[in-house]
Chain A
Amino acid sequence: MESTPAVDIQGVVKTFGALRALDGVTLSVRRGEIFGLLGPNGSGKTTLIRMLVGLLRPDSGRISVLGRAAGDAGILGRVGYMTQKAALYPDLSVRENVDFFAAVYGARARVADALRVVELSERADSVVATLSGGMQQRLSLACALVHGPELLLLDEPTVGIDPLLRAEFWTHFRRLTAAGTTIVVSSHVMDEAGRADRLGLLRFGRLLAEGTVAELEARAGVDDLEAAFLRLSATPEGAAT
């Protein structure tokens, strides 16, 4: 395992007009861990993730991904990105969708594997438009991991899916990190983010705290993540906005 962090973010600022979407965020994600980005809607989670794949550029600050500048064409093939809403081709079948993204990354041999991982092998020939929301979400995950990325970015992957499927997703995530993949997962749900190895608490574009659940709880002096988040939001540095 390389010693450089999977993701290294240094003092990143991003504004959209008058809105400061990210206000000097510094954090780093270690190789092989699941890093949870926890924060309410509009706290800058999606902006941060989109920067990691070069879809947005920071106004100031530095971001390196797998040791290279974010958005560098050389590393995009080693990163997987699952957007917030299942971004799929509704007129194609399940297999055709995965096959398309596999072809883009030059990994067509792994299509069947990816379908097996998300347990969609039996529905491989179904047209996407006929799938349930949960199945589409699983397919979207398959499309993001088909090329065996070293870093998997998941933007609220479990929004709107039932608890059973959510548990399933986390089983997948654990299996992937066991195989050496680093995962960054954003969420606005406390008990979900609590499953991550380490967390970054984001609010109004600022990083309130970074650490394991236990560390965050200890720092806030409470024994519950939700209470910790609220307590840390109220500290002077968090309340400054």
Chain B
Amino acid sequence: MSMRRTLAIARRILHGVRRDRRTLVLLFVVPVVLLTLMGYLLRGGSTQPAVGVIQQDRGPLGPIVAQRLLASHDVAATSMSADDARADLAAQRIAGYVVLPADFSDRALRERVVAPEVHLEGTQPALSASVLGALGSALASAGTAVSGGAAPTVSPTVTYLHGGPDLDTLDYFGAAFIGLIVFFLVYVLTSIAFLRERQQGTLERLMASPLRRGEIVVGYMIGFGVLALLQSALVLAFSLAVLHIYNAGEVWLIFLLEALLALFAVNLGIFLSTFARTEFQAVQFIPLAIVPQILLSGVLFPVETEPALLQPLSNVLPLTYAVYGMRSAMLAGRGVTDAGILVDLGVGVLFAALAIALAALTLRRAAA
């Protein structure tokens, strides 16, 4: 093995990279940006779910438990009336509420049974677990403070507005991943295909033909749209029939949300591919343009628990609305008449239209 020849190769690689600004950014800027984002998301956020506390106990124990809950660092608890709590829960403003019933102390002292009522929103297993955990520690510390003697039986009554105790992590993530998989694959497929059109010179031919820019973009959209819809149907069918992901919603609505996301992805692919000269460069857009979207869309971390600074960013990402729409349709069983779903659908249409316009606008630049 000749060191000289071997080093010639290494040197050539380093020389090449020096002039390739995209690769330099990918190597040294992207990891810092992504890690900063991750760290900020995980550390900077308030992961405390909002919880309502309804203290109705006539005895001494209820107020103590309520006070411990309000002081808890695991949840952001507030005292409220039963009516407010029900409304907030339905609107997903709180992850759950705890009712300390009128006979709470009575039963604890006489029957040695601690029986709070817990009402959970239920679509986010992680938040439900936090609520139950916070209640558990509040009860434990209140218990040691009040009564000596035999430990009372803790038997909370837990009800779920949506889903249930069986709703697991797959159900929660699955609902969002169905959309994410389609979004990601359709984006990659279209951006590479469109780039090829440019590289092999056929786009130049098309631009010199009577074809209008809009016709090219819409033609692409229909062609890849068909593939994307087939893929969406397959992903959805597999998720529901084989993986048995929890679904309380209407299948056609989920499909519609998926389809809008796919249309957006097709046009995003065309749009971004005009900024890349090679397939390698198109792939480089994934960590730059796609991964931050995934981090901020609420797929992994609910947007409400994000740091306040990042939330506005999440709220302008189309993926956020798709993820929310899919989750509220599948987990909460909301229908097309629901205001939140309508917003999600509307934003989906808006972004798809915006991406189509951008794709058509950049096409001139693409051929030149």
Contact = CB atoms under 8 A, between A and B. Distances in A.
A83 B211 CA distance: 17
Contact of A53 (B201, B208, B212, B368): B208
A31 B212 CA distance: 27
Q: Which of A54, A87, A101, A143 has the most CB of B within 10 A?
A: A87
A229 interface: no
Contacts of B204: 55, 83, 87
B336 interface: no
Contact of A54 (B200, B206, B208): B208
A76 B206 contact: no
Interface residues of A, number: 22
B202 interface: yes
Contact of B209 (A84, A85, A89, A101): A101
A183 B368 CA distance: 23
B200 A105 contact: no
Top 5 A-B pairs ranked by shortest CB distance? A87-B201, A53-B208, A81-B208, A77-B210, A76-B210
A88 interface: yes
Contacts of A87: 200-202, 204-205
Interface in A51-71: 53-56
A89 B211 contact: no
Nearest to A87: B201
A227 interface: no
Contacts of A76: 208-210
A50 B364 CA distance: 13
A89 B201 CA distance: 9
A55 B207 CA distance: 7
A85 B201 contact: yes
Nearest to B211: A104
Interface string B189-205: 00000000000111011
Contacts of A55: 204, 207-208, 367-368
B200 to A, nearest CB: 6
Interface residues of B, number: 14
Contacts of A81: 205, 208-209
A116 B211 CA distance: 26
A209 B367 CA distance: 31
Interface in A28-65: 50, 53-56
B208 A104 contact: no
Given A55-B207, A89-B202, A101-B209, 20 more contacts: A50-B208, A53-B208, A54-B208, A55-B208, A56-B368, A77-B209, A77-B210, A79-B208, A81-B205, A81-B208, A83-B204, A83-B205, A84-B201, A85-B201, A87-B200, A87-B205, A88-B200, A88-B202, A89-B200, A104-B210
Interface in B186-244: 200-202, 204-212
B49 to A, nearest CB: 51
B363 to A, nearest CB: 12
Contact of B210 (A50, A73, A88, A89): A73
A233 B202 CA distance: 35
Interface string A86-118: 111110000000000100110000000000000
B228 to A, nearest CB: 19
